[in-house]
Amino acid sequence: MQNGAQHNPDSIVDGRLLGFVRVVVGGQIFDLAVQSMSFEKDGTGTAGGFFSKDGQLGILVDDSVTPSEAKAQIERGTAEAVRHLSQRVLN
């Protein structure tokens, strides 16, 4: 695969890996994959952000946005991840 793209056959998300965000909650470390992918545009809301599905955690970024918008999506996804993981770990 090209341009840093990675494919995990067991992965729910098949996007281009951009890197990782490390989140520490309650002394536990979570490394969340940040992946870029295309989203269908329906005009409602902003694509991208944190996801949790079938035990997988990560952050998605819309590959059609500008670098500053991608950064905002990663920041928003990280905040969502902290909220989600805090509820799971600290309760």
Categorize the per-residue pLDDT at 84 as very low, low, confident or very high, splitting at 50, 70 and 90: very high
Sheet of 28-37, strand order: 16-25, 28-37, 56-62, 49-53
**Domain hosting residue 76, numbered range:** 16-90
| Domain count for the chain | 1
The HSE-up count of residue 58 (CA atoms within 13 Å, CB side) is: 22
The string of pLDDT tens digits covering residues 36-71 is: 988 776 655 566 789 988 888 999 999 999 999 999
With respect to residue 2, please indicate whether it lies within any of the assigned structural domains.
no
Q: How far apart are CA 22 and CA 36, in angstroms?
A: 17
With respect to residue 1, please indicate whether it lies within any of the assigned structural domains.
no
With respect to residue 20, please indicate whether it lies within any of the assigned structural domains.
yes
With respect to residue 84, please indicate whether it lies within any of the assigned structural domains.
yes
Please give the residue that has the higher pLDDT: either 6 or 23.
23
pTM for the full predicted model:
0.77
